Structure 1
Amino acid sequence: MLAAGLPVPPGFAVTTDAFETLRAHADLRTFVAERLAAVEGEDPTGLRAASTEIRRHIEAVSLPAEVDRAIRDAYDALSRHCGVDDVPVAVRSSATAEDLPDASFAGEHDTYLWVRGGEAVTQHVRRCWSSLFTDRAIAYRRHTGHDHEQLSMSVGVQKMIEPRAAGVAFTLNPTDGDRSQIAIDAAWGFGEAVVGGEVTPDNFVVDKVLREIVSRTISPKTTEYRLNGDTVERATVDDVRCRTACLTDDEIQEVAAMARRAEQHYGCPQDVEWAIDRHLPDGENVVLLQSRPETVWSTTPRRPIAVAGQSPLDGVVRTLISGVHTRGAGPTPTR
Structure 2
Amino acid sequence: MTDRHTAIPFDQLAPEHHPLVGGKSASLGTMSQAGLPVPPGFAVTTDVFADAKHASGLMPRIHELFDYVDGTGSASVASVAEQVREMVHGWPLPEVHESRIRRMYADLCAQCEVDDLPVAVRSSATVEDSPDASFAGEHDTYLWVCGADAVLDKIRACWASLYTERAIAYRLDMGYDHAKVDMAVAVQKMVRPRTAGVAFTLDPSNGDRSGICIDAAWGFGEGVVSGDVTPDNFLVDKVMWSINRRTISPKTHAHLLIEDGTSECPRVGRVPLPEHQVDVPSLTDEEILAIARLARTAEKHYGCPQDIEWAVDDDLPAGRDVVLLQARPETVWSKRRHAIGAKSDLVSSIVDTLVNPLYARRGNRPAQPA
TM-score, length-normalised on structure 1? 0.90
Change (3 A) 1:146 1:319: closer
Alignment of 1:1-335 (within 5 A): 1-39=31-69, 46-229=76-259, 230-303=266-339, 305=341, 313-316=346-349
Distance in structure 1 (CA, Å) of the matches to 2:175 and 2:70:
16
Change (3 A) 1:301 1:315: closer
Deviations 1:288-308 (A, max 9, x none): 11111111111113346465x
CA contact 1:306–1:314 (8 Å) conserved in 2: no
Tell me which residue corresponds to 1:325.
Answer: none
CA contact 1:193–1:223 (8 Å) conserved in 2: no
Distance in structure 2 (CA, Å) of the matches to 1:119 and 1:313:
61
Distance in structure 1 (CA, Å) of the matches to 2:74 and 2:133:
22
Structure 2 unaligned blocks of 5 or more: 1-30, 260-265, 354-370
Relative to structure 2, which stretch is displaced further, 141-150 or 183-192? 141-150
Distance in structure 1 (CA, Å) of the matches to 2:273 and 2:230:
13
CA contact 2:193–2:312 (8 Å) conserved in 1: yes
Distance in structure 2 (CA, Å) of the matches to 1:186 and 1:291:
16
Change (3 A) 1:133 1:239: same
Tell me which residue corresponds to 1:331.
Answer: none
How far has the Cα of 1:104 moved from its partner? Answer: 1.9
Distance in structure 2 (CA, Å) of the matches to 1:14 and 1:21:
12
Distance in structure 2 (CA, Å) of the matches to 1:271 and 1:19:
27
Relative to structure 2, which stretch is displaced further, 296-305 or 166-175? 296-305
Change (3 A) 1:42 1:212: farther
CA contact 2:207–2:339 (8 Å) conserved in 1: no
Q: Helix, strand or coil for the counterpart of 1:166?
A: strand
User: Hey, which of these two has a bigger chunk of helix by percent?
Assistant: 2
Distance in structure 2 (CA, Å) of the matches to 1:12 and 1:319:
38
Q: Helix, strand or coil for the counterpart of 1:227?
A: strand
Distance in structure 1 (CA, Å) of the matches to 2:241 and 2:72:
48
Q: Helix, strand or coil for the counterpart of 2:310?
A: strand
RMSD of equivalent CA atoms: 2.0
Deviations 1:279-334 (A, max 9, x none): 21111100111111111111113346465xx5x534335899xxxxxxxxxxxxxx
Share of identical aligned residues, percent?
53
CA contact 1:101–1:298 (8 Å) conserved in 2: no
Change (3 A) 1:84 1:133: same
Distance in structure 1 (CA, Å) of the matches to 2:274 and 2:72:
43
Relative to structure 2, which stretch is displaced further, 94-103 or 214-223? 94-103
Relative to structure 2, which stretch is displaced further, 247-256 or 298-307? 298-307
Change (3 A) 1:210 1:73: same
How far has the Cα of 1:44 moved from its partner? Answer: 10
Q: Helix, strand or coil for the counterpart of 2:335?
A: coil
TM-score, length-normalised on structure 2? 0.81
CA contact 1:42–1:139 (8 Å) conserved in 2: no
CA contact 2:208–2:338 (8 Å) conserved in 1: no
Distance in structure 1 (CA, Å) of the matches to 2:319 and 2:234:
19
Structure 1 unaligned blocks of 5 or more: 321-335
Q: Helix, strand or coil for the counterpart of 1:38?
A: helix
- Report the count of equivalent residues: 317
CA contact 1:168–1:272 (8 Å) conserved in 2: yes
Q: Helix, strand or coil for the counterpart of 1:58?
A: helix
Change (3 A) 1:184 1:22: same
Distance in structure 2 (CA, Å) of the matches to 1:27 and 1:173:
48
Deviations 1:100-150 (A, max 9, x none): 132121001000011111111011000001101100000011011111122
Letter in 2 for 1:183: C
How far has the Cα of 1:14 moved from its partner? Answer: 0.5
Distance in structure 1 (CA, Å) of the matches to 2:350 and 2:292:
23
Letter in 2 for 1:120: A
Distance in structure 2 (CA, Å) of the matches to 1:159 and 1:15:
18
